[in-house]
Structure 1
Amino acid sequence: MNTDTYKFSKEVTLSHFTTKEVDEKAKKKLKKVRKEISELQDTMYAEGKYSMLICLQGMDTSGKDSLIREVFKDVNARGVVVHSFKVPTELELKHDFLWRHYIALPAKGKIGVFNRTHYENVLVTRVHPEYVFGENIPTVKSLEDLNDAFYHDRMERINQFEKHISANGTIILKFFLNVSKEEQKNRLLRRLDIPEKNWKFSSGDLKERKLWSKYQECYEDLLNKTNTDYAPWYVVPADDKPTARYIVGKTISEELKKYGFKEPALAQKDLDKLDEFKAQLNNE
């Protein structure tokens, strides 16, 4: 598998990417990949120079939660931190729109996963611009102020934010889980048909589904304007969950391998006394 085939570029449109790709051996392959991620994260932590930020975006039912569970199953629990961003709190609304994401960034050595991300600020708020009023921005006085220029300016600030953290050692990978409208319908029906899954269903999902075309349009715009060398977007076919998980896991593993992480060497003064230290322990 060449993961570069899933990279977004300005020369293609979102419709260029398929929503369904099936690898019958995806589950088996993922087991190997997630062990690699675990080992790479351990070494990245020991070296202490880099962190990794994984951004997951996708329509409702695209499989973000289960992907996180399966891809990072073997990673040290202290080595991966997941943040699921919901509606901004009162405190968060008193800061700029990137503040709550900045304070959630992973520390050096760790993998941070944003389940829904800072891109909600140029996606959901673009579909529902009235949400921006809660931010009390001095220059926003009416819906007319929330035009394309407003959102494109936000996208540029997101680019600057990502460039800044990249320069500080954060490796950024962004994944759009590309699920089809038909598959979303099937997954919503499954939530209704299976009693144990009922709790996942929200009537709001049906309201948002009616805005499918608008969401797709907004996604394509943000993908075009925020795809960079230092924070690339990958469009992952998400109709088949095992394959989607494997694609994401393999992309993460391949990216981490590029950095050649190494454990720091023991100080020479301690190396010179290894036999002495062993003797102390054996003679207890």
Structure 2
Amino acid sequence: MNLSDYKVHHNANIKLKDHQCSKGKKEENDYIEQNIIPPLVEKLKELHLKLHAEEKNGIMVVLQAIDAAGKDEAISYIFSNLNAQGLKVTTYGKPSETEQKHDYLWRLHDGEPERGQIAILNRSHYEDVIATRIHDLLEDDDDTEIQRRYRQINNYEQYLSENGFSVVKFFFNMSKDEQKERFLKRMKNPDKQWEFSFSDIDDREKWEEYQEVFEDMLNNTSTEHSPWYILPADDEWHTRRIITEAMIHTLEDINPRFPKISGEDKKKLDEYIKKLENE
């Protein structure tokens, strides 16, 4: 698979209608029987363990999408396979009263990774250039303020990157028909109804407006240091494969290694090995 087919170039002017929402649906067994997903997950686990052990770099993963696009399922399947000590997940909803008293990026800091961690943002600081526009929440001139925020976000992500924290971003590109089917499954299944919100239908009525806002976000904030990947989210298993391969690519660029013990610590380790062997 060529990841560049899904990566948004930093000088791009993309239109979401030109990006497929599906590559032809396959089931989980297709990917397992063809031995595609399992070796990728194992490779991701190995690289993540090295990242956690080395504690030199971190990765911030941004998942952004319209409702029912599959963010939670991607987190559950892929990232649940990783070492829990080197992983954190933060979900961002409507800003609290305390968060509203600070600058819009303030609430992001608790979700940032430590060195040795992968931090997943389920929704993110990008809500402040999406929801603010959809719901007319900005007091100042909308276009001027949004352009200012794009610049601030790009600078912030570059700051993270230059300090050893890679930022990789995934946009779940789902079709309106697929969202309809997923909503209906939730609404008709008593065990899934708790996942449904009436506001989801209200947002669905603004579908075209969301598409325009998403396009603007992608075109203004996919940078060389912090790229966006557009995922064909109707196809859940292909989406998970792309995320896994993109994470592997990011980790391979970091090239983490297990720490080596040397000097006095190595001598002491050898002494303790002999001590245990002679018990």
TM-score (structure 2 length as normaliser): 0.93
Q: Which runs of 5+ in 1 are unaligned?
A: 133-139
Matched residue SS, 1:49: coil
Which of 163, 188, 196 is the matching residue for 2:191?
196
Contact 2:129-2:217 within 8 A present in 1 as well = yes
Match of 2:113 in 1: 106
Counterpart AA for 1:211: K
Counterpart AA for 2:22: K
Is 1:14 matched up with 2:21?
Answer: no
- Equivalences for residues 112-261 of structure 1 within 5 A: 112-130=119-137, 132=138, 140=139, 145-261=140-256
Counterpart AA for 2:257: K
1:104 & 1:123 partners in 2: Cα distance? Answer: 19
Contact 2:64-2:124 within 8 A present in 1 as well = yes
State which drifts further: 255-264 or 179-188.
255-264
Is 1:80 matched up with 2:92?
Answer: no
Question: Deviation digits for residues 238-271 of structure 1, max 9, x if unmatched?
Answer: 0011111111111111221122211121022232
2:85 & 2:104 partners in 1: Cα distance? Answer: 27
Matched residue SS, 2:80: coil
Contact 2:62-2:120 within 8 A present in 1 as well = yes
Counterpart AA for 1:58: A
* Alpha-carbon offset, residue 119 of structure 1: 0.3
Matched residue SS, 1:176: strand
1:5 & 1:268 partners in 2: Cα distance? Answer: 48
Match of 1:136 in 2: none
1:93 & 1:12 partners in 2: Cα distance? Answer: 32
Matched residue SS, 1:196: coil
2:269 & 2:156 partners in 1: Cα distance? Answer: 45
Matched residue SS, 1:254: helix
After TM superposition, what 4+ stretches of structure 1 lie above 4 angstroms from structure 2?
none
* Alpha-carbon offset, residue 274 of structure 1: 4.4
Match of 1:26 in 2: 31
* Alpha-carbon offset, residue 26 of structure 1: 3.1
Contact 2:57-2:164 within 8 A present in 1 as well = yes
* Alpha-carbon offset, residue 195 of structure 1: 1.6
Q: Which runs of 5+ in 2 are unaligned?
A: none
Contact 2:14-2:215 within 8 A present in 1 as well = no
Question: Deviation digits for residues 5-44 of structure 1, max 9, x if unmatched?
Answer: 1011314322221001136433552222222111111101
Matched residue SS, 1:129: coil
- Count of matched residue positions in the alignment of Structure 1 and Structure 2: 272
Counterpart AA for 2:247: I
Match of 2:60 in 1: 53
TM-score (structure 1 length as normaliser): 0.91
Query: Alpha carbon RMSD of aligned pairs, Å?
Result: 1.5
Structure-2 change in CA distance of 1:275 and 1:153 (3 Å): closer
Matched residue SS, 1:8: coil
* Alpha-carbon offset, residue 82 of structure 1: 0.5
